[in-house]
Each structure stands twice: as structure tokens, then as C-alpha cells.
Amino acid sequence: MPMETIWNATSKAARVFACLGGVLLLAAAGLVSSEVISRKILTIVYSGSDEVAAYLFAVGTTWSLAYALVTRGHVRIDALYGRLPLRVRAAFDILALLTLGIVAFTLLDSGFDLVQANFVEGNRANTPLRTPLALAQIPWLFGLGLFFFSIVIAMLRTLLAIRRGDYITANQTAGVVSQDEEIESELAALGIAFGRRRGAGQPAPPSSNNR
């Protein structure tokens, strides 16, 4: 199915850039730590580390937004949600994606205007490094673009799933992560198999004492 192919490709891209974003955050932390150590121990002072670390942090953050979306890591409020029927949940999921999409588009539109202005005018940071602002802002803007694109794909996948009555897929795309899913994800990261609870009326597994 084309939509599933697009969704899987989007999820893979989101994971890749989230990993790269994590590397950037580690680089930012390492850069600041090295400056602190050199200043306290070696009495060597060099400027610009805070500026570069801020760029790395900003880019790393936007590169991780799409991954939080496709893994539903951004959804946490479920006190009432978990008690609602699947149809009602799907309606709230669409509303949530629509609202998030409006926010993401606003950020992307404003960010594009900012980057375009700095690129055309050749603006530089008012710092000793005199960094071209567009150089740092273009990858930051790309992260916002990937985030908005992921929202659009998630919206389309959810709508198509609802249209064919597949509320499970709709929930797995835009719904709240259940407690069992969170436990399963954590155990899977540790390489531990997860056995779901037995449903009502399901027979118990045979005991070793049965003859």
C-alpha cells in the first residue's frame, strides 16, 4: 500500500535524524564541558563555544520532533482518553493532529521568512565568530519542515484508516500510547520479550503440576 510505504519511509527518516540530533546534543554538551574544563584547570579561555553549542542544540531539537511524533512520544494525557470509544478517540486524534499541524506550519512559515531574510541580506551573528546566521538556521528549518511533513503524513494515514474502519491503525498512528505499549517498548529496547495480559475468559497456561 502506497500510504504504508510513505509512512514507513517517514518513520525511518525521523529515526535517522533523531539519532543525528542526539549526536549534535552530545557534541554541544562536550563542547561546553571542554570549555569549562579548560577554563578551570588549564586556564585557557576560548570564545564561541556557547554560540556553537546553542546552534547544535537548536538543530538537534528540531531534528528530533518528527521522531517524537511518529513514535507518539509527545502524547501523554490519557486520563479520560483511555475510557472513550475508539470512534471518539479517533475524532480527538484528528483534532490533535490538526491543531499540532497549525502550530508546526506557523513555526515553519515564520522560520522560512527569517532564514530567507538572513540568507539574502547576508546577516551574521553579532559575536566574535561572526557566524552567517543562515548557515545555522537552514538545518534548523529543515527539522521544522520534516516535523510538518510527518504531521501531514500522519493525518492522511489516520484519515484513511478511519475511512476503512480501521480504528486500531488510526490509534497506532496518532493516539495515546497505552501502558502495555510503553512497557513493551522499554522491554524491547532491553531485548526482553513481552507477554501481554490474558484477556477475560482466556484459559490459563497449563501448570507443570497438572498430570
**Single-letter amino acid code for the residue at 74:** H
- Radius of gyration of the chain from Cα atoms? 23
Cβ within 8 Å of residue 172, ≥6 positions away: none
CB 151 within 8 A of CB 101: yes
Closest CA to 125 of 27, 61, 60, 47: 47
Q: How confident is the model at residue 59 (pLDDT cuts 50, 70, 90)?
A: very high
All 3 cell numbers of residue 209? 503440576
Residue showing cell 488510526: 170
Q: Which of 36-45, 64-73, 122-131 has the lowest mean pLDDT?
A: 36-45
Dihedral sign for Cα atoms in the order 154, 160, 163, 166:
negative
CB 155 within 8 A of CB 97: yes
d(CA 68, CA 21): 12
DSSP string, 165-210: T-HHHHHHHHSPPPHHHHHHHHHHHTT---PPPPPTTPPPPPPTT-
d(CA 181, CA 72): 11
pLDDT over 50 (residue 121): yes
Task: Write down the domain spans for the chain.
Answer: 2-71+85-178
Q: What count of other Cβ atoms lies within 10 Å of the Cβ of residue 210?
A: 5
All 3 cell numbers of residue 103? 502550530
Q: How confident is the model at residue 37 (pLDDT cuts 50, 70, 90)?
A: confident
For residue 203, the model assigns a pLDDT of: 43
H helix count then E strand count, the chain? 6, 0
For residue 197, the model assigns a pLDDT of: 45
- pTM for the model stands at 0.81
**Single-letter amino acid code for the residue at 176:** V
